[in-house]
Structure 1
Amino acid sequence: MLSALLATVSGPAAQAGEDGDRFAIGDDAFRAAQTVTFAEPGRADLFLGGERVSATSDISGTAHLAGRWLTLSGAVGGNAYALGQQIAVTGTVAGNATLFGQEVTVRGPVAGNLRASGSELEITGDIGGYALLAGERVALDSAISGDLALTARQVDFGPGARVAGTLTLYESTPGSLSVPASVAPAERVERRRIEQWEHDWGGPQMVSWRGALGGFVFGVLLVAGVAALIAALVPEALAAMRRRILDRPLRTLGAGFVALSAISGAGLVVALTGIGLLLTPAFFLLAALAGFFGYVVGAYAFGVALLSAAGRALPDRIGERALAAGVGALAVGVIGLVPFLGWLFVLLVLLTGLGALAIRLLPDHLLGSPRY
């Protein structure tokens, strides 16, 4: 499913050409194309998106990568975030690394914490903090200075594998995975049932105000980055959806309500057949993805409206569109903090953006509205 999603997102990049689009503001760099190779020294934060992405230069800030085949070989002075099909981190990461993919390889050292999820994980670089690993097959041949929480069907410990803290294994049958004494002594190995993984790592946790602020800022940057990627891949479609929202917001909102209801309702209807119960989670996942991209489009249109009200011209470059999306996401996020009414406003933005997506993707006669 991850491969299909990435193919959907990065597929249009082939139409954008090899050069794609690039933008820089301050010391931060933004790149989006079918093939992205970043080799510019002196940059802080990095935002790269495409089918094949490679970052070879050192940066002083945080790296954000999204695509199919991702390679991060330069040193990262901050944190590293990557979402892709194949991810390889060979450079040094001074902060934390959060990686989600099908095949994830970490050969460079990570000074902070490592959070990685995928079908196949290979960790050979030393970890300065804790490690949180979830996969089908995990190969570990590195020293972990903190704790290790691990769930996998198959685990291979190499000769260099060491866990200085507590090693917690989540297994379908406790005791099925063997741990050499050289990795961690028996008294520092905890075994739990796989069902406890969600309880331990998916439940509500106490969050500091710095963590909450960091999560808020990351959410704003994520929306801006996704909008910039869409603007680089399909700029005309994004502009058309923005015009649709600003020209006819109520009808677009209604289309979004119908679209989300149709996707969610289809999952329930399919479940009534009995056999279709297996497909119900896929419909709800599709509804979640549709809601996310609807929120991105809606926040972008709201940001354009705010900037236009401030006297700025309509955005026509990737950097201006990323700025508009960031402003919109920031404004929507702040308004969303208002109890009850804020959540309703966020929902309206999401449904309006989803409506623009539905009108753009579906044939005209289904919704009775032109695509623009």
Structure 2
Amino acid sequence: MQKVILCLAACLLALPALAEGEMAHFAIGADVFRAGRSVEVDGAGSDDLFLAGEIVTVTGDITGSAHLAGREVRVEGAVGGDLYAAGDEVTQQGPVGGDATLFGRALSVSSIGGDLRIAGSDLQLTGPVAGYAMVAGEKVGFDAEVAGDVSLAAEQVIWGEAARIRGRLIVYEETPGDLDVPDRVAPDARIERREIEAWEGPTPPSWRRAIIGFLLGVVGIAALGALIAVLVPERLAEMRRQILDRPFHTLWLGFLTQSAVIGAGVLFALTLIGLLLTPAMILLALVGGFAGYLVAAYAFGVGLFLAFGRSEPLSIGARALSAGLGALAAGIIGLIPFLGWLFVLAMVLTGVGAITLRVIRPSFFVGDE
């Protein structure tokens, strides 16, 4: 469920760039904002960076902080302030003057002038850290000197020749004492071992948690679909027929509806007086998007059943099964890089369009029916 909501939020935020088919960008003062499929920015002369895309690359030095998200993120220039990055692969090569917070699968970190907070599956620490370090991973290559304390939770640690911890080393383990720490890294007097259950830092991603979360999301969608089918069976059936009979019609209307809601939030913000209404409009867009995904997942599941010669679902159990099948199939397709994201976005907008037709019934679309 959480993954679906995050995906919907990302889709809504990136909607203008996708609609234009090119990178969206603007700047306020020395701050730079970019979003697109492939984003490469020379940060020379910039203060703060806010970048999102499939591939994000930062070259040149910036004076402020960097906020980066993408499948592949590379920071080649120096960051004067803090670094915040999330992605499947994150590589930080240029020095960071402030703190660094990184989350993903494969992460590589060099010189950090402040504190380091990092969580991932495969971690490589190759440069000094001036503050403390909070590290969580499955496999950690530790070849850095840390001036402060280190909190470490890892299944495997490979200590490099440059590994030194000047403060305390707090190790979180399944069985305290399993992790071997060379005396040159930290003497026993400065090592504290705790149970892994006491870990309160960032948690690295794992296949087990990902699969469990995925299955729980499918079950949750199925349960909500069954609940809607109990409360408003006829309305749900009507929206499902709209989607299956006229998918592009509902997709276009959903695009217009979400654009209107998000655009209204921007216009409210421009008036300053209505700035307080902007969060409400964003919340409405997110709630509407999630409801649209529920309806579209149910319709998708029913469509799959009909394609295999099954009859329309009439019982609560059959409707729940349809919603679950739709959520499962959509979730698997959504795992495809980039194309899966577009498919989920199309499902969200199609569902929103069907809800709009059922609730508002805009006159310029009613006439087409």
CA contact (8 A) 2:124 2:142 kept: yes
- For 1:162 and 1:140, the matched residues in 2 are separated by 9
- For 1:126 and 1:371, the matched residues in 2 are separated by 61
CA contact (8 A) 1:301 1:328 kept: no
CA contact (8 A) 2:38 2:54 kept: yes
CA contact (8 A) 2:289 2:352 kept: no
CA contact (8 A) 1:364 1:371 kept: no
The one-letter amino acid paired with 1:362 is: G
The one-letter amino acid paired with 1:355 is: G
2:245 maps to none
Instruction: Show CA shifts across 1:256-293 (max 9, x none).
Output: xxxxxx75954999xxxxxxxxxxxxxxxxxxxxxxxx
Alignment of 1:56-67 (within 5 A): 56-67=59-70
2:138 maps to 136
Number of paired residues? 252
Q: CA RMSD in A?
A: 3.7
Q: Structure 1 residues 158, 2: CA separation in 2 closer, same or farther (over 3 Å shift)?
A: farther
Alignment of 1:118-129 (within 5 A): 118-129=120-131
1:362 maps to 351
- For 2:7 and 2:138, the matched residues in 1 are separated by 20
2:268 maps to 305
User: Partner of 1:350: helix, strand, or coil?
Assistant: helix
Give the fraction of aligned pairs with identical amino acids, expressed as a percent: 41
Instruction: Show CA shifts across 1:125-146 (max 9, x none).
Output: 1000000011111110000000
Instruction: Show CA shifts across 1:197-244 (max 9, x none).
Output: 13xx48xxxxxxxxxxxxxxxxxxxxxxxxxxxxxxxxxxxxxxxxxx
Q: Does 1:189 align with 2:191?
A: yes
1:114 maps to 116
- For 1:363 and 1:46, the matched residues in 2 are separated by 32
Alignment of 1:127-276 (within 5 A): 127-198=129-200, 201=201, 263=221, 266=224
Q: Give the drift of 1:307.
A: 2.5
Q: Does 1:33 align with 2:36?
A: yes
Q: Give the drift of 1:177.
A: 0.7
User: Partner of 1:78: helix, strand, or coil?
Assistant: coil
- For 1:145 and 1:154, the matched residues in 2 are separated by 22
Q: Structure 1 residues 371, 184: CA separation in 2 closer, same or farther (over 3 Å shift)?
A: farther
User: Partner of 2:288: helix, strand, or coil?
Assistant: helix
Q: Give the drift of 1:371.
A: 9.3
Q: Give the drift of 1:350.
A: 3.2
The one-letter amino acid paired with 1:82 is: A
Q: Structure 1 residues 73, 263: CA separation in 2 closer, same or farther (over 3 Å shift)?
A: same
2:83 maps to 80
Alignment of 1:318-357 (within 5 A): 350=283, 353-355=286-288
Instruction: Show CA shifts across 1:21-43 (max 9, x none).
Output: 21111011111111111114210
Instruction: Show CA shifts across 1:114-164 (max 9, x none).
Output: 000111110011000000011111110000000000101111111110000
User: Partner of 1:85: helix, strand, or coil?
Assistant: strand
- For 1:141 and 1:38, the matched residues in 2 are separated by 29
- For 2:9 and 2:267, the matched residues in 1 are separated by 26
Q: Structure 1 residues 349, 43: CA separation in 2 closer, same or farther (over 3 Å shift)?
A: closer
CA contact (8 A) 1:299 1:328 kept: no
**TM-score, normalized by length of structure 2?**
0.59
**TM-score, normalized by length of structure 1?**
0.59
CA contact (8 A) 2:291 2:352 kept: no
- For 2:148 and 2:361, the matched residues in 1 are separated by 54
Q: Structure 1 residues 300, 182: CA separation in 2 closer, same or farther (over 3 Å shift)?
A: farther
Question: Which of 44, 48, 53 matches 2:47?
Answer: 44
- For 2:129 and 2:25, the matched residues in 1 are separated by 33
CA contact (8 A) 2:98 2:115 kept: yes
Q: Structure 1 residues 73, 192: CA separation in 2 closer, same or farther (over 3 Å shift)?
A: same
Q: Does 1:103 align with 2:66?
A: no
CA contact (8 A) 1:40 1:57 kept: yes
